[in-house]
A = this chain, B = another copy of it.
């Protein structure tokens, strides 16, 4: 049934948008239905689990979309430092373009629902982990040990998320751009260090990101 899938897609898309801007509790089914032009009676048909299930679907969609974008940028950049610069540039511009209403599509709900809905929490956590593994994989290809790369990836994501939040609150995108610059230098330093290496002999104790 085509029509049903279209309705479902519209519901998910609008929900993702509203969750990104307002969060979970500030977004009502009424608003989702009204702004998406979807039939109200269809919500519980497509999402028997109600608002929670709809939210998880929307968060998953957004998480996948951002993962693909991240993958594309990382794949196109010659070096992680260039990638992080590009990502921050895009994020900063998007933030300004939306007049600081849109940030990370998961972050607001993450903080809101982490302690109330285990399902939502787990959904978001898995997508964050996916983003991190993407970053970590790129860093590993530079020669850094997996463990250190994972740490650096978490650190990078944390900084980006925090910068997005500060930018939203300050209504100023410079935290994002500055974070990009700082992280890029960190990546350069880490790359310069571990580049000339080949097949690390045994193990290295968190040698990375050592400045």
Q: Which residues of A contact B (CB under 8 A)?
A: 21-26, 100-101, 103, 107-108, 110-112, 114-116, 121, 124-125, 128-129, 151-152, 154-155, 157-163, 165-166, 168-171, 174-175, 178-179, 182, 185-186, 188-189, 209-211
CB distance from A200 to the nearest CB of B (A): 20
Asked if A115 and B128 make an inter-chain contact with CB atoms under 8 angstroms apart, the answer reads no
Count identical subunits in the complex: 2
Q: Which residues of B sit under 8 angstroms from A163, Cβ to Cβ?
A: 155, 158, 162
Closest chain B residue to A108, Cβ basis: B111
Task: For the A-B complex with A25-B26, A125-B171, A151-B182 known, give 5 more contacts whose Cβ atoms are closer than 8 Å.
Answer: A128-B170, A158-B159, A160-B162, A161-B162, A161-B165
Q: Which residues of B sit under 8 angstroms from A155, Cβ to Cβ?
A: 159, 163, 175, 178-179, 182
Closest chain B residue to A170, Cβ basis: B125
CB distance from A64 to the nearest CB of B (A): 17
> Measured between alpha carbons, how far is A128 from B171 in the docked complex, in Å?
13
Closest chain B residue to A124, Cβ basis: B169
